[in-house]
Amino acid sequence: MKKVKSIIISILFSILTISAFGQDHYPLIQENNSWNVLSVVGSFIDTTYYTITYKLTGDTIINSKAYKKLYASEEEQAANWSLWAFMREDTDKKVWIRWHQDDEEFLAYDFSIDVGDSVLVGVDNPEYLRVDSISEIVINQSQRKKFWLSAINFPTYYKETWIEGIGSNKGICWSGSVLVVGGWFRLLCMHENETLIYANPNYESCYLITDINEIENPIVELFPNPANTQTSLKLPENTVLSQTQIELYNPAGSLLYKAKPGSHFHKIDVAHLPKGLYLVRVWDGERWYVEKLVVR
Q: By mean pLDDT, which of 38-52, 103-117, 176-190 is the weakest?
A: 38-52
- Say yes or no: 170 and 57 in one domain: yes
Q: What are phi and psi of 20, to 5 degrees?
A: -65, -40
DSSP string, 55-91: EEEEEEEETTEEEEEEEEE--SS----EEEEEEEE-T
pLDDT of residue 220 exceeding 50 = yes
Closest among 8, 33, 36 to 199, alpha carbons compared: 36
- Say yes or no: 250 and 283 in one domain: yes
- Specify the DSSP class assigned to residue 265: E
CATH of residue 254: 2.60.40.10
Q: By mean pLDDT, which of 37-41, 75-79, 227-231, 269-273 is the weakest?
A: 37-41
Q: By mean pLDDT, which of 36-45, 141-150, 165-174, 230-239 is the weakest?
A: 36-45
What pLDDT sits at residue 16? 40
Q: Is residue 92, in this structure, part of any structural domain at all?
A: yes
Which SS3 state, helix, strand or coil, does residue 186 take?
A: strand
pLDDT of residue 7 exceeding 90 = no
Residue 97, strand partner residues: 87, 106
- Say yes or no: 180 and 104 in one domain: yes
Sign of CA dihedral 10, 13, 17, 18: positive
pLDDT of residue 27 exceeding 90 = yes
Q: By mean pLDDT, which of 41-45, 206-210, 223-227, 272-276 is the weakest?
A: 41-45
What pLDDT sits at residue 74? 87
Q: Is residue 211, in this structure, part of any structural domain at all?
A: no
Please enumerate in sequence order all residues whose Cβ is within 8 A of that of 68, keeping only pairs 6 or more positions apart, or say none: 29, 30, 31, 56, 57, 58, 59, 86, 87, 88
- Which helix (H) or strand (E) segment is 7 a member of? helix 2-24
Percent of the chain with pLDDT over 70: 83
Residue 191, strand partner residues: 34, 196
Average the pLDDT over 179-195 and give the result. 83
- Say yes or no: 142 and 227 in one domain: no
> Which residue range forms the structural domain that includes residue 287?
216-295
Please enumerate in sequence order all residues whose Cβ is within 8 A of that of 243, keeping only pairs 6 or more positions apart, or say none: 283, 284, 285
pLDDT, tens digit (0-9, with 9 covering 90-100), for 102-150: 889 999 999 999 999 999 998 767 889 999 999 999 998 899 999 999 9
Average the pLDDT over 17-38 and give the result. 76
- Which helix (H) or strand (E) segment is 121 a member of? strand 118-121
pLDDT of residue 209 exceeding 50 = yes
